[in-house]
Copies of this chain bind each other. A is one copy, B any other.
Amino acid sequence: MILGAAVIQVELLKKKILAEGEVYEGNILKVDCFLNHQIDCVFLAEIGKEFHRLFENEGVNKILTIEASGIAIGAFVAQEFGCPLVFAKKTKTKNIAGDVYTTPVESFTHGTTYDIMVSKRFLGKGDRVLIIDDFLAVGNALKGLIELVKQSGAELAGCGTVIEKGYQHGGDSLREKGIKVESLAIIESMDAKTGEVTFRD
């Protein structure tokens, strides 16, 4: 029964990507109609259940994500686990206060670097952290969030992302380090000319 529901959620996600997603030149998959500008919250609540199923035996007691597009997904995952959500803030100005964990993140898409930060009050020893985000490509945002977890002395339970661009290998590189990374849909290739999207089996 549970496996059946999981299959339905993942199949629905793939269907939504194929039906509503748009592929553009420059390796861009636009899913802002249901995932990161307009948000299908009934669907995301189901996605939250699936992440809960995937990580329910990992002792998770905190969800960590990054503003802005990770927040809604993270919120539904946190609701399932019955634990708090913390979102890392992006900033372009160096924060010199000693009350935050911070690390630079390089944006592969935009060719810029920004700092992310989390207040020391909300991450630390005793936390078993599940990192949640909408996209995983080269993995720079996830690596930044993992670095914040390390700085805080918390433990990393794993990473869950909705859509992984498998051909950019950020997910595989994290998995090779022994980190549990679960992506609900892994894209193997995209073609901006035809709009075709192929998933990893």
- Chain B residues, CB < 8 A from A83: 41
Q: Are A87 and B32 in contact (CB under 8 A)?
A: no
Copies of this chain in the oligomer = 2
A84 to chain B: closest residue by CB = B38
A195 within 8 A of B: no
- Chain B residues, CB < 8 A from A122: 32-33, 37-38
- What is the distance, in angstroms, from A69's C-beta to the closest C-beta of chain B? 9
A60 within 8 A of B: no
A181 within 8 A of B: no
- What is the distance, in angstroms, from A115's C-beta to the closest C-beta of chain B? 15
- What is the distance, in angstroms, from A139's C-beta to the closest C-beta of chain B? 22
**A contacts with B, residue count (CB < 8 A):** 31
Q: Report the bound CA distance from A87 to B32 in whole Å.
A: 11
Interface string of A70-97 (1 = CB under 8 A from B): 0110111011001111110100000000
Q: Are B86 and A38 in contact (CB under 8 A)?
A: yes
Question: Contact check: which of B32, B37, B41, B121 meets A75 at CB < 8 Å?
Answer: B41
A45 within 8 A of B: yes
Q: Report the bound CA distance from A32 to B89 in whole Å.
A: 12
Within 8 A of B (CB), among A39-57: 39-42, 44-45
- What is the distance, in angstroms, from A180's C-beta to the closest C-beta of chain B? 22
Q: Report the bound CA distance from A42 to B42 in whole Å.
A: 16
- Chain B residues, CB < 8 A from A82: 42
Could you list 9 A-B pairs, sorted by A, with CB under 8 Å?
A32-B119, A32-B122, A33-B122, A34-B84, A37-B86, A39-B78, A39-B84, A41-B79, A75-B75
